[in-house]
């Protein structure tokens, strides 16, 4: 009896994930290189950088090649101890306040902030653009990126536009884990529901801001805010203690959809590329930072998610070698179909498809480690330690490492 329940549970979950993934893809705009819009609102490209000497050069060089004339690029050196600032200066970034390509030195981290939110807050305070584009030092942008996204943002009238960049993977560990970002992001949340709610105000009012807020998500590698909306939202100050500030900001925007706000997620794999991590150790540490905090202190939701994903997305591939049932094959085939569609659409590694249960098991292990680290000695990131706190809505205040 229990086995039958588990088998049909796995089939149901696999079907729901596959159907939702396809629905989300059908409504996901695919941005391509585009010409600059007729109107050229000023854009501030804002780049927080802490010890990014190994990769910031490629990012800055790509930003300097943008075919969009009405922009400024501001880099914040967040107490780096490497050559981050020297590289920026060598590429023409100046500390002069009126410089179009500006380098500023970050202030010491105050209590109640995570490092990235504090850096982004400082950048926004000095930015002059009508649009604020927050991006990361591990991204590389095609020359038409800013033109394309501003044109898309104007067409959609959005308050926040976020992209899914192409994810560059080199090592075996990267190929196993990184593609799961598209699988999880594309199948676990109903992006189609947000799209319909934004097209139908009556539906947005019925769904309410609480449900819509839970559906909001974004990629911190690329966040394009309308300036007025960003500051009306409270900016990064409103999520200052959150370790996953990009998703927290998107949830705040999604809550306001009944009030007419617009959150647009796009496929930006033809415009922006990113290599998040270069080793297994970096993958472990990087996702450890994110996977527990994204649940906002919801113990029940976290452990239910870990358990059902193991039961439905991993265990069928293990049992199928020892136990032959049609339901097992059906569940496995639907999950593999989802992985194949994701690999084709986002050009991810086929190794991740072939080794699906291995990569997924590794991701779940990182999630458990994220919970354990937060509840014990704290989550370490960029030379800082973030400890959990009693509030279920925010990540912990941070302590500096000696």
Q: Break the chain into its structural domains and give their ranges.
A: 2-24+280-400, 29-169+190-274
pLDDT one-digit tens code per residue, 184-209: 999 999 999 999 999 999 999 999 99
pLDDT digits (tens, 9 = 90+) for 326-348: 989 999 999 999 999 999 999 99
Distance CA 77, CA 282 (A): 21
Q: Distance of alpha carbon 62 from its chain centroid, rounded? A: 21
> Given this model, what pLDDT does residue 388 score?
72
Per-residue pLDDT tens digits for 359-389: 999 999 999 999 999 999 899 888 888 877 5
Structure letter (DSSP) for residue 236: G
Quick one: 70 exposed, middle or buried, by C-beta within 10 A (0-12, 13-18, 19+)?
Answer: middle
pTM score of the predicted model? 0.93
Say if residue 299's pLDDT is above 80: yes
User: How many C-beta atoms surround the C-beta of residue 267 within 10 A?
Assistant: 20
The per-residue pLDDT for range 22-31, each reduced to its tens digit, is 999 999 999 9
The CATH superfamily of 29-169+190-274 is Spore Coat Polysaccharide Biosynthesis Protein SpsA; Chain A (3.90.550.10)
């Amino acid at each position: 009896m229990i086995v039958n329940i588990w088998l049909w549970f796995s089939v149901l979950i696999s079907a729901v994930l596959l159907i939702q993934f396809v629905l989300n893809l059908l409504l996901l705009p695919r941005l391509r290189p585009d010409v600059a819009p007729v109107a050229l609102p000023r854009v501030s490209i804002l780049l927080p950088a802490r010890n990014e000497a190994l990769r910031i050069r490629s990012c800055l060089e790509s930003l300097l090649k943008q075919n969009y004339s009405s922009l400024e690029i501001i880099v914040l050196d967040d107490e780096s101890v490497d050559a981050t600032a020297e590289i920026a200066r060598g590429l023409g970034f100046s500390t002069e306040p009126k410089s179009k390509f500006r380098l500023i030195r970050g202030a010491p981290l105050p209590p109640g902030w995570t490092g990235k939110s504090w850096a982004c807050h400082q950048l926004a305070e000095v930015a002059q653009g009508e649009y604020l584009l927050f991006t990361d030092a591990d991204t590389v942008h095609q020359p038409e990126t800013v033109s394309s996204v501003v044109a898309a943002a104007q067409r959609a009238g959005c308050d926040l536009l976020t992209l899914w960049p192409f994810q560059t993977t080199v090592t075996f560990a990267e190929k196993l884990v990184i593609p799961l970002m598209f699988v999880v992001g594309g199948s676990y949340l109903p992006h189609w529901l947000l799209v319909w709610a934004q097209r139908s105000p009556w539906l947005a009012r019925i769904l309410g801001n609480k449900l819509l807020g839970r559906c909001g998500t974004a990629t911190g590698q690329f966040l394009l805010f309308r300036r007025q909306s960003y500051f009306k939202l409270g900016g990064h100050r409103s999520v200052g203690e959150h370790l996953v500030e990009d998703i927290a900001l998107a949830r705040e925007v999604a809550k306001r959809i009944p009030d007419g706000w617009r959150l647009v997620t796009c496929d930006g794999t033809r415009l922006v590329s990113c290599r998040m991590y270069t080793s297994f150790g970096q993958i472990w540490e990087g996702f450890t930072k994110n996977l527990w905090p994204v649940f906002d202190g919801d113990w029940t939701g976290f452990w239910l998610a870990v358990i059902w994903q193991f039961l439905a997305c991993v265990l069928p591939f293990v049992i199928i070698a020892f136990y032959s049932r049609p339901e097992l094959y059906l569940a496995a085939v639907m999950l593999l179909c989802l992985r194949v569609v994701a690999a084709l659409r986002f050009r991810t590694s086929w190794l991740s498809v072939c080794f699906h249960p291995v990569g997924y098991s590794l991701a779940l292990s990182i999630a458990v480690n994220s919970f354990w680290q937060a509840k014990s000695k704290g989550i370490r990131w960029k030379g800082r330690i973030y400890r959990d706190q009693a509030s279920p809505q925010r990540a912990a205040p941070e302590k500096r490492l000696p």
